[in-house]
Amino acid sequence: MANLYQKLDEIEARYEELTAQLSSPEVLADSARLQKLAKTHAELNEIVTRYREWKKLSRHLGEAKQMVVEAEDAELKQMARDEVRELEERIAELEKGLKRLLLPRDPNDEKNVILEIRAGTGGEEAALFAGELFRMYSRYAESQGWRVEVLNSSPSDLGGLKEVEASIQGAKVYSKLKYESGVHRVQRVPETEQQGRVHTSAATVAVLPEADEIDVKIEPKDLRIDTFCSSGPGGQSVNTTYSAVRITHLPTNLVVSCQDEKSQIKNRAQAMRVLRARLYEMERQKQHEQIAAERRGQIKTGDRSEKIRTYNFPQNRVTDHRIGLTLHQLDVVMEGKLGPLVDGLVAHYETERLNKEISDAA
């Protein structure tokens, strides 16, 4: 614990130093430096605010404990005991929060994402469910003030989606959606079922941090680019011109198609975004597997092969199997109210990381 408080003292000193620098004339005259220092200052603000609250409550706790010892009046002594108990609980909660804030940050948390949803087992019913999942995530994105841009989609005959790829842009998108990758299972009576029997279908979700050109270097010689006529809705120009683009990355044999835009140039740009994100994810997975091979206790982060969540429509129930969370509010969740699931997952994995840090340090 002494090391923790020493680190927090150092952070507070750095924060005060930055506060002074931000008001100095030489920093104010240098916009690039000002922006950089302001960003660091903002990142440290939450930690310092909580640490100062912790120190204030710790002083009050010392005074309350002294009151328990010195008070002669029985009622006053009991009031002091109650205050000690309350302060200890608040301080413990603050300490837990401070430890979480000091965990190393995922460098991808600030990134936008490429969301990919594909119908799995279940035919048309799976495609309908995939379409509903995309609507659910779109509604959630809207509630967060994010922007959703469809890059590629393939509709099914009954109005569902065989697959869809979309970009979601905004503040800390990956930090909230990164645990959504995996197999999502639905249990309900399909529209195509005449006997009223409950069927089980599935769709896969992949959340990829959108890579910048700096993150992934793609050589032109490694690409084969084909153009073809788009299919599906869009009118005569879409279906008769070679606007659709298929890009094959030869070293990995990854294939990306994009046909939602009428312009071949736009489709090519969209396909490159998806390709870059997939290559970036492949590299991350490779690194993850290497680390997992060396450290068997590695925390999982939602492998796409895992069944992560079940949506049971007859019982209006959704269950996340990784954290054992069940909500009897499926209708609300499907409208994009994902807060309890998203926040529960983030808290769970942060706690696991924190416990691992503590055990490694022991």
Where among 74, 101, 128 does a domain terminate? 101
Q: What is the pLDDT of residue 103?
A: 77
Q: What is the pLDDT of residue 303?
A: 41
Instruction: Let me know whether 35 and 124 are in one domain.
Output: no
* Spatial CB neighbours of 176, under 8 Å, sequence gap ≥ 6: 144, 342, 346
Q: What is the pLDDT of residue 294?
A: 40
Buried b (16+ CB within 10 A) or exposed e, 43-52: ebeebbebbe
Give the residues across from 205 on adjacent strands. Answer: 117, 182
Q: What is the pLDDT of residue 263?
A: 80
Q: What is the pLDDT of residue 241?
A: 65
Instruction: Let me know whether 135 and 86 are in one domain.
Output: no
Is residue 361 one of the residues assigned to a domain?
no
Which among 204, 116, 203 has a CA at the least distance from the CA of 153? 116
- Provide the domain limits for residue 20: 2-101
d(CA 191, CA 214): 47
d(CA 150, CA 281): 20
Q: Quick one: tokens of 318?
A: 């959704």
Domain of 10, CATH number, reads: 1.20.58
pLDDT tens track for 195-215: 778 889 999 999 988 877 666
Is residue 334 one of the residues assigned to a domain?
yes
Instruction: Let me know whether 338 and 233 are in one domain.
Output: yes
Which among 187, 181, 189 has a CA at the least distance from the CA of 205? 181
pTM for this prediction: 0.67
Strand order in the sheet with 325-327: 147-155, 161-169, 113-119, 199-209, 182-188, 307-312, 317-320, 325-327
In this structure, what are the phi and psi dihedrals at residue 18, rounded to the nearest 5 degrees? -65, -40
Cβ atoms 47, 101 nearer than 8 A? yes
Is residue 358 one of the residues assigned to a domain?
no
Cβ atoms 98, 12 nearer than 8 A? no
Taking 50 as the pLDDT cut, the residues of the chain under it are 233-238, 291, 294-304
Sign of CA dihedral 175, 179, 184, 188: negative
Total domains, the chain: 2
Is residue 169 one of the residues assigned to a domain?
yes
Q: Which helix (H) or strand (E) holds 274?
A: helix 264-294
Instruction: Let me know whether 85 and 135 are in one domain.
Output: no
Domain of 287, CATH number, reads: 3.30.70.1660
Q: What is the pLDDT of residue 359?
A: 63
Pairing of strands 147-155, 182-188: unpaired
Where among 81, 101, 121 does a domain terminate? 101
Instruction: Let me know whether 239 and 272 are in one domain.
Output: yes
Length of the chain: 362
Is residue 106 one of the residues assigned to a domain?
no
Instruction: Let me know whether 127 and 184 are in one domain.
Output: yes
Instruction: Let me know whether 225 and 349 are in one domain.
Output: yes
Instruction: Let me know whether 165 and 63 are in one domain.
Output: no
Instruction: Let me know whether 152 and 117 are in one domain.
Output: yes
Instruction: Let me know whether 121 and 68 are in one domain.
Output: no
